[in-house]
Structure 1
Amino acid sequence: MIYRTPLVVLCVTIIVSYFYMKSPTVTDKMANNGLLFISNAAKVQTVCQRASKYVKRVLYVKVKENSDSALPVLSKQIDNLYSKSQANNLDIRLMLKPSDTVKEIKTGYPIDMILYDSELAKEIDDLKHAVSTVTSGYELQSIVYLSGQDDSQNGPEDPLRTYENVALGGTFDRLHNGHKILLSQAALRATKLLTVGVTDVNMIQSKTLWELIEPVEVRIAQVLNFLRDINPDLEYNVFPLKDLYGPTKDDPKYQLIVVSEETLRGAKKINDKRVANGLQPMDVHVIGMAKDSHPEHSHEEEDKISSSNQRMRLLGTLLRPPVPNPNIPDWPYVIGLAGGIASGKSNITKKLKLKGAGVVNCDIIAHDLYKPGLPLNRTISEAFGKDVLTETGEIDRKKLGQIVFSDKAQLEKLNSIVWPAVIAEAQRQIRAYGESGHRVVVMEAAVLVRARWYQYCHQLWSVIVPRDEAIKRLQDRNHLTKEEAIQRVNAQPSNEEQIEKANVVFCPFWSYEYTQGQIDRAWQHLQEILANRK
C-alpha cells in the first residue's frame, strides 16, 4: 500500500498530460504563426508534432541548447521533422542557430503565439523577450513534454563537419519538405557562404508538368525567405542556374556540394570538371530520399516527396480565381475548354457532360458550317481554290489542313473567315442551353485561346499533355507521318499559352481514374462557386 498512492498519482498525471497533448486546440483559436522553443535537439520531432496542433500557417522551431554535440543530433532531426510532417499544410521552419547565441530572434512572418516545452518554463520570460517579430496580442502556450517519449539518441554522435563555402542546386518549385531537408542540411554545414543554383527555363523542360513550374524569380525568393529564416547569419548567393555546373566548376572556394541521391551523378560531373580545371574536387554530402506520405498520395505519383507530385495535385484545382465578366450574362455559367490537338479535351468534355453540363463543340460547328450550300463553304472555296472541295461539294479538311498548317499566312486567312461565324453560332447555342434550364455550359474549342474566346466565358479550363505524347497520339489517330504530326502541333498554341490564363488545368496523361479525379475536383469546386452566385 505504501507505493500505491504515488503510483496512482503518476498514472493520473500521465493520463491528464496525454489528453492535454491530444487536444487539438487548448486555446480558443489556432494562431497563424508560432515560435516554438525546445530545450534540446533530441526533442525536436516529438515536441514539434504536439505544437503543430496550435498553429495553422508557419511554425518556427528554435532549439535552446548550444554545443557542437548538438549539430549531429540536429542533422538527424532535420530529416525526421520534415519527412514526418506532411499530413497538413503547416509550414515548419527549424531555425539552425541555437537561441543561447542569439540576442534577438527575427522571423519572416509575425509571431502570434510563443510555445515552449515544459522544461523551459523557468526561462520562457527571457526567451520571449528576444523575439523581435512578436505581435502585440500574442499568446503563450506550454507544450506538455512526457519524459521517456522523446527522440533521444543512444550513444555519442559522430562530429558533424562544417565548411566555409557550400553549394547546392535544384528546381525548388513550390518549396516543400524535401527541399527544406536539402537546404537545411546544407545551411547546417556552412559557416560563411551558401550558394544555391535554382534551375532556369532551359533546364526544367524534362520535368513532369514543367509548364506549371513557378517563374524562377518566385522560386529564388522562396528559397531566400526560407534560408534567412533558418539562419540569418550566413551569406547567401541564390541565382538562376543556366547549366549543370554554375560557378562550382571553376571557383576554388567551394568545398562541399550537397546533393540528393538522384543528383549524385551531377556532382561527380562537376568534380570531374573541377579536376580538369586544376581544382580540388569538392566533398559531397548525399541526402537520402524522403518518402511521400501525404494523405493524397497516388500510385501514379513518385514515392519520394517531390515537386512533380505537388504539380500533379494541382490538376483539377483552381489555379487562379475567376474574374467577374460583366460583358456576358450571369447564366448559364460558361466554361471555356481549351486544349491543343490530340490533348484529350473531347474526352474531358464527355465526362463533364455526364455531370450535367451542356456542351457546345466549336469544332463540330465549324465542320457543319463547311457543308455545301452554306455561305462559309463558298467563301472557303473561293479563298483557297476548288481543290479543297470533295466531289460532293464538301470541304476536304485534310487537303485544307495541308495548305494552312504549312503556311502561317494561309492559316491566319482561314481563321479570319471561320472564327466569326463559329463564335456567333456557339453563342446562339449557349443561349439556347440557358433557356432550356442548363446552369453550366462547356464551350470546347481547339482555338479558344488563340481566338481569345475566353472573353465570352466565366472560366477558362485548359487540357494539356506532353508535346511528344500529342505527336504520338496524332500520328495514331489521324494516320499522319511524324513530320506531319509535328507540323500540326507546331501550328497550335503551346502548352504554356494554353495555361497562361487558365483557371483550371487538366492533364489526361495518366490512368482513367487519375483523370476522373481531376474532373471530380474541378466540378466540386465549381458547384461551390455556383452555390454562392445569385
Structure 2
Amino acid sequence: MSSVINPAYLFSELETMAKNGLVFVANTAKLHNLVTKAIKSEKNILYIKINSESGNLLPILSKQIVNIYSNASSQNTDVRLMLKPIKSGERIQTNHAIDLILYESELDKNIEELKHSVNNLETGCKVKSFDSQISDNVSMVENVKTYEYVAVGGTFDRLHNGHKILLSQAALRATKHVTVGVTDVNMIKSKVLWELIEPVEKRIKGVLDFLTDINPDLEYKVEPIQDLYGPTKSDPRYELIVTSEETQRGGIKINEKREENGLRPLDTYVIGLAKDLAIRHSAEEETKVSSSNQRMRLLGTLLKEPEPNPRIPSRPYVIGLAGGIASGKSNIAEKLKLKGAAVINCDLIAHDLYKPGLPLNRTLSEAFGGHIITENGEVDRRKLGQIVFSDKNELERLNQIVWPAVIEETQRRIKALGQEGYEVVVMEAAVMVRAKWYHYCHQLWAVIIPPNEAIKRLQERNNLSEEEARQRVEAQVSNSEQVAAANIVFSPYWSYEYTQSQIDKAWDHLQIYLDTKTTK
C-alpha cells in the first residue's frame, strides 16, 4: 500500500502531469486544506468525494459547498464537489476521464476499492496519498430539508464558483428533479458587457455537464427562459426555489405570481454572495464572484485566434479597428499609435475625398442634391447626415458611392507605410464590420460602449438632439455584430487606467504573436 509522501514533493512531481483529478477525503475538518494542496496538481477539473461513514452527509455537504467554492474562486481549476452518496458496490461516474487519484492517508485501507469504483479512469492513472496536519475551523452545520422538485435560475455565463454554489445547493436539496432556468434574449441586455455573454446553448450545456457530474441520479431540466418566472409560475410540482441574496427579490415575485394562479408558494433557500478572491482585482470590478467580472477580464484578450489571410501581404500586419460612432475608437487608435503602430483613419480619408474639385465631391452633389454643397464647395456633412441617417436606403446609396474609393486609398497608404518600415498598421473605420473591410486585415479589434452612453457622448460632442444622436447610433452595426467578428474587444466605458490596461494586454499579446510568426 502507498505510504504518505511529502506533499510538496508530490505536487512538484505531478504539476505538469495531471489533467483531471479525483480526491477522496475522509476528514471533512481537513477538507479545505487538502483541496488547496490538491488544486496545485490539476490543470482542468478536480473532483472531490467525501468518503465519510457519517449517516447524514447533507449538512456537511451544504457547509462544504460554500467553503470549497468560495475558497476556490482565486484558482483556475474547475472544482466539483460530488454530492451523490456512493453505496457499496456502486460505481463513481464522471463526465471527464480521471488521470490522477489523490486520497487522504486515513483511507489507505480503502483505496483499492475506491479506485476500482471510478468508472472513467485514463490508462495509467496515478494514485497518490497525502495528508494534512492542519484542520479547518468548521463551524456548526445547518439542517438540510429536501424536496422532490427544486427550481433555480440565472444567467450562468462562463460557469463560475458562485454559480456552482447555487446549483449545488439546489441539487443537494432535491430528491427527484431540478429545473434550471437560463436567462435568454431580453433578460441579458441589462448585464455588463452582455454582448460577450456566451450563447444560451453553450450555457445550458455547461450547467448540464456540471449537474450530471455532481449527482447523475437526479432528473434535470435546463432550459432558456424569457421572463423571471419560467415554469415555476404555473407548475404545482415545484416546492423550493434556490436564490442568491441578489436574486431573492425574484423569488418573492415568483411566489406572488403563484398565489395569483392559486398555487402554494415555494419555500426559498437563499445563499450568500461569494467574494471574489482574485489576486488581480481592479477597482471597476465587483467584489463578489460574478460573470460580469469574468467578461470585463476578457477585454483586451484574444477571444478567437486570427486566421491566415492570403488576400493581403503578411507585412505590414494590419489590425482593423471597428467601433460605432462616439465609442472612443479614435482614442484607442491614439493609444495604439503611442505603442508604435501607424494609424490610418478611413473616416478622414473619406472626408479628404469629399474635397472640392475631386470626383467624389461632384458625385455626391449629383446624388443627393446641390444643397449639400457649401458656398466654399465643401460637402456639408451635417446636411448629408440628416439625409442618410433618417433613411436606410439613402445611407446604403452613400456607402456604395464612398466605400470603393476609400478602401482603394486605404490599401495604397497601408502599402506605403509598410515600405516606410512600420510593422503594425491600424486601420480605423466606423464601417469596418458593415463594409466587411476586416477582410483586408489580419485581425479585427472592436471597441464597444453601451448604446445609451454613445448617444450621450454624441449629443455632447456634436451638439445634437437626443433623437438625432439616437438615429446615428442605431444606423450603425450593433455591438453584438462587432463582437461576433472580433478577435479582441475593448470597452473604454470605465476609467482611463482601465482602458489603458486593456490596450497593454492586447499589444503585449500581439508582440508575442508576431515574434512567434517571425521565428517559424
Q: Same fold judged by TM-score > 0.5? A: yes
Tell me: CA distance 1:217–1:101, structure 2 relative to 1, closer, same or farther (3 Å).
farther
Matches within 5 A, 1:242-391: 242-391=226-375
Corresponding residue for 1:530? 514
Corresponding residue for 1:515? 499
CA distance in structure 1 between the partners assigned to 2:465 and 2:295 by the alignment:
32
CA distance in structure 2 between the partners assigned to 1:91 and 1:171 by the alignment:
18
Corresponding residue for 1:61? 48
Corresponding residue for 1:10? none
CA distance in structure 2 between the partners assigned to 1:523 and 1:236 by the alignment:
44
Q: Secondary structure at the residue paired with 2:246?
A: helix
Letter matched to residue 135 of structure 2: D
* Residue 99 (structure 1) shift: 3.2
Q: Secondary structure at the residue paired with 1:314?
A: coil
Aligned length: 516
* Residue 27 (structure 1) shift: 3.5
CA distance in structure 1 between the partners assigned to 2:175 and 2:257 by the alignment:
25
CA distance in structure 2 between the partners assigned to 1:266 and 1:519 by the alignment:
38
CA distance in structure 2 between the partners assigned to 1:301 and 1:18 by the alignment:
41
- For residues 278-311 of structure 1, the C-alpha deviation after alignment (integer angstroms, 9 at most, x for no partner) is 1111110001011111122211011110000000
CA distance in structure 2 between the partners assigned to 1:373 and 1:175 by the alignment:
59
Q: Secondary structure at the residue paired with 1:426?
A: helix
* Residue 58 (structure 1) shift: 0.5
**Is the CA contact (8 Å cut-off) linking 1:388 and 1:395 kept in structure 2?**
yes
Identity of matched residues, %: 63
Corresponding residue for 1:48? 35
Matches within 5 A, 1:66-465: 66-100=53-87, 103-146=90-133, 149-151=134-136, 153=138, 157-465=141-449
CA RMSD of aligned residues (A): 1.6
* Residue 488 (structure 1) shift: 0.6
Letter matched to residue 163 of structure 1: Y
Letter matched to residue 64 of structure 2: Q
Letter matched to residue 37 of structure 2: R
Q: Secondary structure at the residue paired with 2:198?
A: coil
- TM-score, length basis structure 2: 0.97
Q: Secondary structure at the residue paired with 1:337?
A: strand
* Residue 384 (structure 1) shift: 0.8
Corresponding residue for 2:472? 488
Tell me: CA distance 1:284–1:248, structure 2 relative to 1, closer, same or farther (3 Å).
same
CA distance in structure 2 between the partners assigned to 1:371 and 1:47 by the alignment:
72
* Residue 103 (structure 1) shift: 1.1
- For residues 105-156 of structure 1, the C-alpha deviation after alignment (integer angstroms, 9 at most, x for no partner) is 111111011110111111100000011100111111112222xx2236366x
**Is the CA contact (8 Å cut-off) linking 1:51 and 1:143 kept in structure 2?**
no
- TM-score, length basis structure 1: 0.94
* Residue 409 (structure 1) shift: 1.0
Letter matched to residue 36 of structure 1: V
**Is the CA contact (8 Å cut-off) linking 1:66 and 1:100 kept in structure 2?**
no
**Is the CA contact (8 Å cut-off) linking 2:15 and 2:41 kept in structure 1?**
no
**Is the CA contact (8 Å cut-off) linking 1:42 and 1:77 kept in structure 2?**
no
CA distance in structure 2 between the partners assigned to 1:151 and 1:303 by the alignment:
24
Q: Secondary structure at the residue paired with 2:426?
A: strand
Q: Secondary structure at the residue paired with 1:31?
A: coil
* Residue 357 (structure 1) shift: 0.1
**Is the CA contact (8 Å cut-off) linking 1:66 and 1:99 kept in structure 2?**
no
Report whether the alignment pairs 1:501 with 2:488: no
**Is the CA contact (8 Å cut-off) linking 1:260 and 1:288 kept in structure 2?**
yes
Corresponding residue for 1:9? none
For structure 1, list consecutive stretches of 5 or more residues without a partner in the other structure: 1-16
Q: Secondary structure at the residue paired with 1:196?
A: strand
CA distance in structure 2 between the partners assigned to 1:213 and 1:27 by the alignment:
34
Letter matched to residue 475 of structure 2: A
Letter matched to residue 473 of structure 2: V
- For residues 456-515 of structure 1, the C-alpha deviation after alignment (integer angstroms, 9 at most, x for no partner) is 000000000001000100110010000101111111001011111100000000000000
CA distance in structure 2 between the partners assigned to 1:263 and 1:425 by the alignment:
54
For structure 2, list consecutive stretches of 5 or more residues without a partner in the other structure: none
* Residue 102 (structure 1) shift: 6.2
CA distance in structure 2 between the partners assigned to 1:531 and 1:154 by the alignment:
53
**Is the CA contact (8 Å cut-off) linking 1:336 and 1:459 kept in structure 2?**
yes
Tell me: CA distance 1:312–1:56, structure 2 relative to 1, closer, same or farther (3 Å).
same
- For residues 234-290 of structure 1, the C-alpha deviation after alignment (integer angstroms, 9 at most, x for no partner) is 000100011111111111111110000011111001111111211111110001011
CA distance in structure 2 between the partners assigned to 1:40 and 1:236 by the alignment:
31
Tell me: CA distance 1:102–1:89, structure 2 relative to 1, closer, same or farther (3 Å).
farther
